[in-house]
Amino acid sequence: MIDLHTHSTFSDGELIPSELVRRAVVQGYTAIAITDHADYTNIEHILSCMAKVKNLEDDYDIRIFPGVEITHVPPAKMPGLVEKARKLGAEIIVVHGETSVEPVPQGTNHVAVTLDIDILAHPGFITIEDAMTAKKNGVCLEITSRNGHNRTNGHVARIAGEVGADLIVDTDSHSPYDLINDETAFKIAMGAGLDEKGARKATVDNPSKLIKRK
């Protein structure tokens, strides 16, 4: 299992990073990104702390990527924050997309897919145009296991399929019970309407390709 969207106590997760990593190892994870919610007020603190979690790679057979999920940031302020996140060492940058269950600023998806990010999380009713931009810029669109955000998984999968954008299955874990294994991730991909080949790409091939660039 490769899961590139999780949260710890540095935002609204329930687990400190070391326990999150340990529980991921027990679930059979081979890679995890810890991507706590960030804006201009806390990004330095999050990333300076997350840099230290990589030392757990010495103890467990897992790759750990420090990152952030840029969350509810006004679209006009997102480019500067993405640039700042990279300079501060974020290896995985997720943007909190326009999920149907939260009041994310309109235009977030449209701006996010033009930036140097890795994943547009739970992008709700993403448009064809924004999915095409995501494909052009190598941004993965997320199929999520998280309740609420997963209401539009089918729409996201369909739109991505129409334009050939890459999909990726993540958990958006906030609690120990949110972590999943490969079998469950595959079922989530299939449940979004992907065929077996597409489900394998979203759960294995695309996340593997993404972390190879890091």
- What domains can you pick out in the chain, each with its CATH number? 2-212 (3.20.20.140)
pLDDT tens-digit profile of 58-92?
A: 999 999 999 999 999 999 999 999 999 999 999 99
- β-sheet bridge partners, residue 34: 6, 66
Residue 157, pLDDT above cutoff 90 = yes
Where residue 214 falls among pLDDT bands split at 50, 70, 90? confident
Predicted pLDDT at 103: 98
Q: pLDDT class for 129, splitting at 50, 70, 90?
A: very high
The whole-number average pLDDT for the span 90-99 is: 98
The two three-digit tokens of residue 51, written as one number: 């840099």
Q: What is the mean pLDDT of the chain?
A: 98
In this structure, the dihedral spanned by the alpha carbons of residues 164, 128, 100 and 42, taken in order and rounded to 10 degrees, is 70
- Closest to 47 (Cα-Cα) out of 74, 28, 66: 66
Given a cut of 90, whether residue 111 has pLDDT beyond it is yes
